[in-house]
């Protein structure tokens, strides 16, 4: 195999080549984005999306593995033999009821476009790219499963881009965990022998009320919210079992742990008052995103080269923060999770975002997102100083 010849072209010339490549793919990428949008699939059920994305990878000469890493709807394709390995994460799961209200059709196809463009020049430049299908971002901790299965083991950096109503290279994301609370009491006739029962619903509601009291004390970078999923079967029987699902979010893992303890005390205290038993089953924590500022700055420069205007990350308050399983990746590998403007002032997880994800601004985000990711990967491949700086920051923050 011939040694890569990177001396013949500058980074700017390689970026121009991959942008032209992505423009040539535009109809296919946007077509796939709309196709995935028209077939919304929930976490771990993304059979259509993972199939059409891998079909495209194969049609362009790559050899995707699908399924991958023990997940039926994950896939992986690789290109290049030497040099830094850039992992591009493709999400494509949807939400119940509102379909692609988080715009993951854009994430999957922007990642595909970046991956295809990078694959076409990886050998020549001497870089490696991994296009990774990451299912179940919405509550399924898909990337945590992928991390555990070794999907990021040989990654030098990991990146993706998420649609939002603005361009920002670093947006705040909260650490979070989810708990299922099961209160167990004793059934009894609600009229003729209520004294013989232990009302599990009362215990749960008392715990919920405690959560509301806690909520009044939260900072802007903390959240408590949830629903009661089972309040009993019939109104004239004291409920023997009641369940609820609750989410705790905080700025970082340490603060999350403290808030989890306080919520636990609410439900355990409520159970003690009623004489019920309380069981809390935690799903496992999702970490905040520790965005690599070196990679994020490169992403921003590349976005600005496409005439995208970025907000100052410091201007984005925690009040608008959600969470993502990319957070766990960001603590394992230097990572970025920048957001790209869909051209409409719409919030995530809304029907308005569902519509924006296939409108003109959403389609533009597919193409520009692909270019911004690919150009940033070119920087990682060609600018050893940038990669060293990204690694040094990651190492310093990991101490």
DSSP at 199? -
**Binding piece for Zn ion, criterion CB under 5 A, among 99-107, 203-211, 336-344, 366-374:** 99-107
Residues 336-395 that bind Zn ion (CB under 5 A): none
**Binding piece for Zn ion, criterion CB under 5 A, among 28-36, 94-102, 179-187, 385-393:** 94-102
**Binding piece for Zn ion, criterion CB under 5 A, among 9-17, 100-108, 279-287, 338-346:** 100-108
Q: Give the torsion sign (CA, 87, 54, 302, 355).
A: negative
Site for Zn ion (CB under 5 A): how many residues? 1
By C-alpha distance, which of 49, 24, 171, 45 is closest to 105?
49
Q: How far apart are CA 234 and CA 187, in angstroms?
A: 11
Q: Residue 102 CB, nearest distance to Zn ion (Å)?
A: 3
Residue 16 token pair: 């121009």
3-state helix, strand, coil in the chain (%, to 5): 45, 20, 35
Q: Is 188 in the site for Zn ion (CB under 5 A)?
A: no
Residue 271 token pair: 């159970």
Q: Residue 107 CB, nearest distance to Zn ion (Å)?
A: 7
Q: Considering beta carbons, is residue 102 or 342 the nearer one to Zn ion?
A: 102
**Binding piece for Zn ion, criterion CB under 5 A, among 95-103, 222-230, 233-241, 296-304:** 95-103
Q: Considering beta carbons, is residue 188 or 321 the nearer one to Zn ion?
A: 321
Q: Give the torsion sign (CA, 238, 243, 249, 255).
A: positive
Q: Residue 248 CB, nearest distance to Zn ion (Å)?
A: 17
Q: Considering beta carbons, is residue 102 or 270 the nearer one to Zn ion?
A: 102
Q: Which residue is nearest to Zn ion (CB)?
A: 102
**Long-range interactions of 346-351: CB distance < 8 A, separation 24+:** 346/165, 347/165, 348/101, 348/102, 348/103, 348/164, 348/322, 349/95, 349/98, 349/101, 349/102, 349/322, 350/98, 350/101, 351/98, 351/101
Q: How far apart are CA 345 and CA 370, in angstroms?
A: 22
Q: Considering beta carbons, is residue 15 or 290 the nearer one to Zn ion?
A: 290
Q: Is 102 in the site for Zn ion (CB under 5 A)?
A: yes
Q: Residue 163 CB, nearest distance to Zn ion (Å)?
A: 8
Q: Considering beta carbons, is residue 102 or 121 the nearer one to Zn ion?
A: 102
Q: Residue 196 CB, nearest distance to Zn ion (Å)?
A: 46
Which residues in this chain contact Zn ion in the complex, by CB under 5 A? Answer: 102
């Amino acid at each position: 195999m011939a040694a890569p010849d990177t001396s013949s072209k500058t980074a700017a010339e390689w970026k121009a080549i991959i942008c032209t490549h992505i423009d040539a793919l535009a109809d296919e990428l946007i077509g796939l984005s709309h196709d995935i949008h028209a077939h919304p699939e929930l976490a771990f059920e993304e059979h259509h999306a993972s199939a059409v994305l891998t079909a495209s990878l194969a049609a362009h000469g790559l050899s995707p593995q699908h399924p991958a890493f023990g997940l039926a709807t994950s896939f992986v394709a690789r290109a290049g033999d030497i040099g830094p390995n850039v992992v591009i994460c493709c999400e494509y799961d949807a939400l119940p009821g509102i379909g692609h209200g988080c715009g993951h059709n854009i994430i999957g196809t922007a990642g595909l476009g970046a991956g295809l463009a990078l694959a076409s020049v990886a050998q020549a430049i001497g870089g490696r790219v991994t296009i990774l299908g990451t299912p179940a971002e919405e509550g399924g901790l898909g990337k945590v499963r992928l991390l555990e299965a070794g999907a990021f083991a040989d990654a030098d950096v990991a990146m993706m881009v998420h649609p939002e109503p603005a361009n920002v290279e670093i947006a705040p994301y909260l650490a979070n965990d989810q708990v299922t609370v099961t209160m167990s009491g004793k059934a009894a006739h609600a009229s003729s022998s209520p004294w013989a029962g232990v009302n599990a619903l009362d215990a749960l509601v008392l715990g919920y009320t405690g959560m509301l009291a806690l909520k009044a004390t939260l900072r802007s970078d903390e959240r408590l919210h949830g629903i009661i999923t089972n309040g009993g079967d019939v109104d004239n029987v004291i409920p023997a079992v009641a369940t609820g699902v609750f989410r705790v979010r905080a700025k970082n893992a340490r603060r999350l742990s403290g808030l989890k303890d306080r919520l636990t005390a609410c439900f355990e205290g409520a159970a003690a008052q009623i004489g019920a038993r309380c069981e809390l089953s935690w799903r496992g924590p999702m970490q905040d995103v520790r965005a690599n500022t070196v990679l994020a700055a490169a992403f921003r420069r590349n976005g600005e080269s496409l005439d995208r205007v970025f907000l100052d990350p410091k201007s984005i308050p925690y009040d608008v923060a959600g969470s993502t399983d990319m957070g766990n990746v960001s603590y394992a590998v230097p990572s970025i999770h920048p957001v790209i403007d869909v051209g409409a002032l719409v919030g995530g997880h809304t029907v308005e975002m569902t519509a924006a994800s296939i409108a003109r601004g959403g389609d533009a985000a597919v193409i520009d997102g692909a270019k911004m990711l690919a150009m940033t990967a070119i920087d990682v491949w060609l600018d050893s100083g940038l990669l060293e700086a990204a690694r040094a920051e990651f190492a310093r923050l990991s101490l």
